[in-house]
């Protein structure tokens, strides 16, 4: 074998051996939460505020989210606003944070904090502001075709605590609806819609909202990774 041929064989072999020796990045299962880009050490969840009570909220992440949405230049300006009451917001927050905790705890330690509590360095912080909450109409939902839908929407902010300072890394509006899309076909279909209707509550919407928050954040992370790869 000539020296030139030996080099031609050795170079690809060296590249292969180097790649084999490098540790592989774990793949995120479908629907899982991708936290590799930021590598947070924990997740901290704060109560959501309500846009109708934003001025009375204590200083903290939720008040900041509500204030940001309410300003004339905010992305949510001009959109439908039908805020839940303070009591409803408490129950809806529990539904959202319980679901967020259940999903995120598969990868990170999760803490549910109160307004004013300082998140630790390296934490991922999720909070938001309920903008609209509509119970819908139970009778209309029996008809199907999307009638009588319940509706829940929020403005969400996600922070990463870097060097003890929370840095806003994502911000978006998210909403969900609860309704029967198909019309009932006879008494059996009506019974099915009636059974579904009992599960179409704002509390159920709160759990779906949490899933949509994590899905949106995951998609935004993938988009950011794609941008970085192209640079």
DSSP 95-131: HHHHHHHHHHTTTS-EEEE-TTPPPPTTEEEEEEEEE
Instruction: State the pLDDT at residue 33.
Output: 53
What are 12-54's pLDDT values in tens digits? 333 333 333 333 333 333 344 555 556 899 999 999 999 988 7
pLDDT on residue 230: 76
- Pair 62, 160: CB distance under 8 Å: no
Taking only the tens place, the pLDDT of each residue in 148-167 is 567 889 999 999 998 878 99
Highest mean pLDDT among 67-76, 120-129, 191-200, 216-225: 120-129
């Amino acid at each position: 074998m000539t020296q030139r041929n030996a080099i031609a064989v050795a170079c690809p072999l060296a590249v292969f051996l180097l790649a084999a020796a490098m540790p592989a990045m774990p793949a995120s299962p479908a629907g899982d939460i991708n936290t590799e880009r930021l590598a947070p050490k924990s997740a901290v969840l704060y109560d959501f505020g309500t846009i109708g009570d934003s001025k009375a909220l204590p200083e903290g992440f939720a008040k900041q989210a509500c204030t940001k949405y309410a300003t004339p230049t905010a992305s949510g300006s001009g959109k439908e606003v039908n805020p839940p009451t303070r009591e409803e917001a408490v129950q809806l927050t529990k539904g959202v944070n319980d679901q967020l905790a259940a999903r995120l705890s598969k990868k990170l330690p999760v803490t549910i904090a109160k307004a004013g509590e300082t998140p630790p360095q390296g934490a991922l912080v999720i909070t938001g502001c309920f903008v609209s909450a509509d119970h819908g109409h139970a009778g209309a939902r029996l008809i199907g075709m999307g009638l009588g839908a319940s509706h829940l929407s929020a403005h969400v902010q996600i922070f990463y605590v870097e060097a003890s300072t929370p840095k806003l890394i994502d911000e978006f509006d998210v909403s969900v609806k609860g309704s029967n899309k198909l019309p009932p076909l006879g008494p059996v279909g009506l019974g099915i819609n009636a059974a579904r209707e009992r599960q179409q509550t704002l509390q159920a919407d709160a759990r779906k909202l949490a899933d949509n928050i994590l899905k949106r954040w995951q998609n935004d992370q993938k988009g950011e990774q794609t941008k970085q790869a192209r640079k």
